[in-house]
Structure 1
Amino acid sequence: MNTTEIFLIAILVIFSAPYLVWRLGRTDYWAPLVVVQILCGILLGPGVLGAFAPAVYDHVFAPPVIAALNGIAWWAVMLFVWVAGIELDLHQAWANRRETGITAGLALGIPLTFGALAAAFLLRWPGWSGPNARDWQAVLGIGMACAVTALPILILLMEKLAILREPLGQRILRYASADDIAIWGVLALILLDWDRIGRQLGFLIAFGVAAVLVRMMMRRLGKADRWYVGIIWLALCGFGADWSGLHYMVGAFLSGAILDAEWFELEAMDAFRSVILLVAMPVFFLSTGLKTSWEGGGPAVFAAAALLLLASVGGKLAGVHLAGRILKWPRRETHVIGWLLQTKALIMIIFANILLDKGIITSATFTALLLMAVASTMLTTPIVAPMLRRLGGA
């Protein structure tokens, strides 16, 4: 078979396997399709399929096929992060800045601290810190991965729970949106390269000037043109950020964050995000699975994942509980907010991919973080759904 035929076989496997598991297994309550896709990506990676059927793995995921899949994955995740940036509603966060600041600060700061302590513990042994990392970068990166809230997945889960457009859902979005800014700011700090500081400062200055001009242009364009110009702006920012030594994902987020969601129809934005998740993001999940590694030993990786899960979920719940006491929230409401904000999945996986690409963490650490993200996301709906029923009946 030629490369095109093998590529199409890979695409067939990537899209059919997760869908069949999700649909026939009826997993949607505890494992949405996106979670099943991530798990299938792990199973199709070198640690599982590559170990049990190396000839099949080497044939289907040959280097030319991997190169083609990586290109799709890069562009898919850039589009996804761009949409996440656009959907940030900082106007509401600022209008409710005291409540948002207290909640977002504690919901980010405490799991970050817990995760950093877990990372410092792991770094006592070799194999967890990447080849290009200083200790503080690895500790801060792993800690932030434990603190991340996956805003796009949070939106999907709240849609399924029928609270997205409710006052509670909008409040939770405000808290997550404020934390999203901090997450990408911390990532930029971790990736700060003193050897290329001039380039990075140059990019940020150029971005600031260009952002003003783009916003002026967007106000004058029709809706159809805004989409096209927005995509061009995304590619330009991604290139500039990567060239400067940050990461194309940082550029993708910034390119969306300076755009107003009201410039794009809400229904069109929801449909666009759904299309990306349907036709392109499964390829990213597969490419993520190809980066998993069990070389540090399966038990060690699972133990690290359990430690990070405890730090992540425990830290998030503790932070939101403290915020609830300060702001005098009802106890049941506090629990719902805490469990929804601990959702990880996509954004944390994107964050960890960047750390791995830059040599801040190892493949074993990445695998542990990936398992933690999947587990935390799978916990959300089964725990929150009964809470919401009790809250509605209170």
Structure 2
Amino acid sequence: MSPDAMVMHFVGASALILVAAHAAGWLARKLKQPYIVGQLTAGIALGPSLLGSLAPDAYDSLFPDGIGPALTGFAQFALVVFLFAVGYELDLKVLGSRARTAVTVALAAFVVPMAVGSGCALLFQEQLRDLGMPRDLSPAMVVFAGVALSITAVPVLTAIVRENGLARTVPGVVAVSAAGLLDVIGWTVLAGTMMDGAGDGHALGWPWRALLAAGFTALMLVAARPLLRLLLWGPRTRMEPSLRLALLIGFALGSAWVTHSLGLHVIFGALLAGVVVPREEGGTLDPELVRPLHDVSSLLLPFFFVVSGQSVALDTMDATGWVALLVVTVLAVTTKIGSGTVAARLGGLDRDDARTVGVLLSARGLTELIALNAGLQAGLLSEPLYTVLVFMALTTTLLTQPLLLLTRHLAERPRPAHSPPVPVADMG
């Protein structure tokens, strides 16, 4: 196939990806589900399992092997921009007077699923062999299994909180705050796991790479932040919005390249770049930066969903796979909701608010998919197990809204006179 023909194939595939993904996102929102759920479903549908099975000639024509690198490049670019925005918007100051409660909830909602996931990986190694995993799991694989159950999707959770009118309520604030802390903990553990799991392909051992990664992080925090503050907000150097956006996206891409070179995924460099970017005076977000970042990532993220969907293999889902999906989904929901609810209750929330926090933390969505994609690329997951975990992420996200409505229904029931709610003022 000539280069011109390949370019036109890419253009046609891009048109289909964008239209299908955003139409599915619109439909998901009409069904009271997060926009991202529709996009993820469209990405899977355009993969080899559905489109490739139902119309193999059309699939081969739309997605020939030659356009794979271009699709992957667009997907990685979208991922860097999206996670750069996540890092920029991450603000743990939102904890405020509820810091103790949020920290308690975050630790419980990470440690319990982490322990259950890692423990199950060790207990069921024989069953995991049927899903393509090796006989003896490496420590990185065991830890990654725990991380896969521990993740909460902050963007999806924030959207659910906003769309349900919970943004200014106690459970909404606690859930968003705890999810932000969970992000910090989860990505840190995942970074260590990825570095240990990707050691075979690098000349330097993981201790040296860990030391270089720590040095790069310190350099970013100590030197990059004040330099960016001078360039972006200095009285003589303040840039126009378009130039500022271009500079910062280039900064995020460079940071992602460095962490990838150290054996980490590009996601860590993108997040770090977002975290070190200074805010405006008073700590407020720059709307002229946030808005275009959201627009760019929203436009291009469907490429990431399609590339991720290429590795979803429904034809590998035999009886063992479907049983594994059921077990993993039940564990993912119960460990998150149970640990989050109990920790919120211990932190001073009443029964109904505590349940709401637990349900909100069970949403995984895009963040889970990013972690799973990174684990697959690092060789920590087989394709059959990756397929199981992708459907777990989709199912837990779909269940969040119905479970939230059920929690509201339970909260509206008359309370017994002898069990008044815990006053908000008593929270830590």
TM-score (norm 1): 0.90
Q: 1:137 to 1:149 in 2, by over 3 A?
A: same
Q: What SS is found at the alignment partner of 2:105? A: helix
Give the alignment partner of residue 217 of structure 2, picking from 207, 212, 221. 207
Compute the displacement of 1:249 (Å): 1.2
1:248 counterpart residue number: 266
Compute the displacement of 1:321 (Å): 2.2
Q: Is 2:104–2:344's contact at 8 Å kept on the other side of the alignment?
A: no
Compute the displacement of 1:379 (Å): 1.0
Counterpart check, 1:15 vs 2:18: yes
Q: Is 2:114–2:146's contact at 8 Å kept on the other side of the alignment?
A: yes
Q: Is 2:313–2:387's contact at 8 Å kept on the other side of the alignment?
A: yes
Give the counterpart letter for 1:197 in structure 2.
P
Give the counterpart letter for 1:208 in structure 2.
A
Partners of 1:142 and 1:380 in 2: how far apart? 22
Q: What SS is found at the alignment partner of 1:245? A: coil
Compute the displacement of 1:261 (Å): 4.9
Q: 1:358 to 1:54 in 2, by over 3 A?
A: same
1:179 counterpart residue number: 182
Give the counterpart letter for 1:32 in structure 2.
P
1:318 counterpart residue number: 338
Q: Is 1:356–1:362's contact at 8 Å kept on the other side of the alignment?
A: yes
Give the alignment partner of residue 217 of structure 1, picking from 217, 227, 238. 227
Aligned residues: 393
Partners of 1:234 and 1:201 in 2: how far apart? 21
Partners of 1:26 and 1:361 in 2: how far apart? 29
- Superposed CA deviations along residues 12-62 of structure 1, whole A, max 9, x for unmatched, are 221222444455x56533433311111121121122222232222222111
Q: Which moved more, 1:201-210 or 1:152-161?
A: 201-210
Counterpart check, 1:359 vs 2:384: no
Counterpart check, 1:281 vs 2:301: yes
1:297 counterpart residue number: 317
Could you list the structure 1 runs, at least 4 aligned residues long, displaced by more than 6 angstroms after superposition. Answer: none
Structure 2, unpaired ranges of 5+: 200-204, 234-238, 415-428
Partners of 2:154 and 2:136 in 1: how far apart? 27
Give the counterpart letter for 2:59 in structure 1.
Y
1:189 counterpart residue number: 192
1:374 counterpart residue number: 394
Counterpart check, 1:344 vs 2:364: yes
Partners of 1:153 and 1:260 in 2: how far apart? 24
Partners of 1:338 and 1:213 in 2: how far apart? 39
Compute the displacement of 1:294 (Å): 3.4
Aligned-pair identity (%): 24
Counterpart check, 1:232 vs 2:265: no
Question: How large is the RMSD of aligned CA atoms in angstroms?
Answer: 2.7
- Superposed CA deviations along residues 132-162 of structure 1, whole A, max 9, x for unmatched, are 9943222221221111000111112222112
Give the alignment partner of residue 6 of structure 2, picking from 3, 8, 11. 3
Structure 1, unpaired ranges of 5+: none
Q: 1:62 to 1:132 in 2, by over 3 A?
A: farther
1:327 counterpart residue number: 347
Q: Which moved more, 1:136-145 or 1:29-38?
A: 29-38
Compute the displacement of 1:339 (Å): 0.7
